[in-house]
Amino acid sequence: MTENYDLIVIGGGSGGLAAAQRAAEHGAKVVLAEPARLGGTCVNVGCVPKKIMWNAAELGSALQDARDYGFQVETGPVDWRTLKGKRDAYIEQLNGIYAANLAKRNIELVRARASFVDAHTVGAGGRLLRADHVFIATGSRPRLPLIPGAELGITSDGFFELAERPQRVAVVGSSYIAVELAGIFAGLGTQTTLVLRGDTALKAFDDMLGEVALTMLRDDGVEIVLNAIPIELRRVAHGALELKSRDGRVLGPFDCVLWAIGRGALVAGLALERAGVGLDIQGFIANDKYQVSNVPGIYAIGDVSGRAQLTPVAIAAGRRLSDRLFGGQTGRHLDYENIPTVIFGRPPLGTVGMSEKAAGERYGKSDLTVYRSSFLPLYHTLTAAKPRSQMKLITAGSEQRIVGLHVVGPGADEMLQGFAVAVRMRATKKDFDDTVAIHPTSAEEFVTLR
């Protein structure tokens, strides 16, 4: 027997949960299918546990800095098992909270994998579910390289399964995930190597961020290997791993090799062909600015849509989609421009708006005015470590509207949110100049740049 609903949500990650709850708040009858832990990548193997590990690495540095401030501090290696145990317990608590939130809104949760029967019917747990609207929010998963021995390495998912801290690690990739995990490993005392296929990191971001990211990793003791294209990962004596590159170099030995080379849409098993849903050239579900796939009534939100793979983006897109379909808010959709992003390097890197290169292509280089600042934060005037903060404002046109804002340094993650509002509201350099600075802070640099 087929059971009828207003909305079927496939996937219980951030986007699926947010969309389901918003639709239910508008009065829709909703069912959500998810076989794994609720919360998806972000809660279980992404943002939340990563930030906890980042916090631990930051505390390690703070203990060293405390000596420079006159404290008598005894330091030692991190107790990885204790850290992992407390982290995992917190994540389990979040899983329960998500389930309770669904129940509170009368959203039916089916603990099973779902697949399409036709464009409006889904099979899950031996049941047939039907709705006029189906949201696909199954997320993404880390990619492995197509080389011999790739399975000997781990991905970011595997990072959170490590029972012990490895002594020697290679992180392969130039993405923000690679930069973050390399910094966390190093901050927690692991001998870390970052392996890049090219000669820079963070290629999707402003050049300043990529340059500074490598500098700060080197300053933290990370070995940076450039222009190394992996062709084989192999196990050698005593269980160690060696990584061979195309040019003949052999890197290692390592106790762990972590691949951070990108993520692909998690669509296997959905039987999309039965519904006629098409994929783009990269394997993500093709969709328009309203999240609608090529099949009316079927939508893609979050990582599976191939756009801005960030948790707040999935949440925002899902809520707007439910507002439009069930809340009568005609035309509501997510604007994918000016999305603020923070990379939790050490220190963190933040960006909103366009890179200098992208702004030059859109407005013309001659129409841009770029402001930069490099300074030593007050906190580090007393520490042995002397990481410099970096800031960049990119403005366009005679009114000098701010079209890009980029920052590296302590507090970048917190200060960026407010500045992102200003950029979205089309603030100009004069607006920044006319704002009274808060002193002494790093953030004040943005309103005093000359």
What six digits make up the tokens of 159?
């990072």
Distances (CA, A) of 365 to 176, 362, 394, 396, 405: 27, 9, 11, 9, 16
18/23 Cα distance (integer angstroms):
9
Residue pair 175/338 in contact (Cβ under 8 Å)? The answer is no
Burial of 186 (C-beta count, 10 Å sphere; 0-12/13-18/19+)? buried
439 included as an active-site residue: yes
26: tokens are: 């508008």
Q: Is the dihedral of CA 107, 6, 299, 417 positive or negative?
A: negative
The C-alpha atoms of residue 410 and residue 389 are separated, in whole angstroms, by: 7
* β-pair type (256-259, 168-172): parallel
The torsion angle over the Cα atoms of residues 332, 337, 343 and 347, rounded to 10 degrees, is: -120
Give dist(CA 229, CA 101) in Å, integer. 46
Instruction: Name the CA radius of gyration of the chain, rounded.
Output: 23
Q: Which helix (H) or strand (E) holds 362?
A: helix 356-363
The string over 44-69, giving b where at least 16 C-beta atoms fall within 10 Å of a residue's C-beta and e elsewhere, is bbbbbbbbbbbebbbebbeeebeeee
Selecting among 26, 120, 406, 439, the annotated active-site residue is: 439
Helix (H) or strand (E) holding 272: helix 272-275
Distance (Å, whole) CA 373 – CA 390? 6
Which residues are part of the catalytic machinery? 439
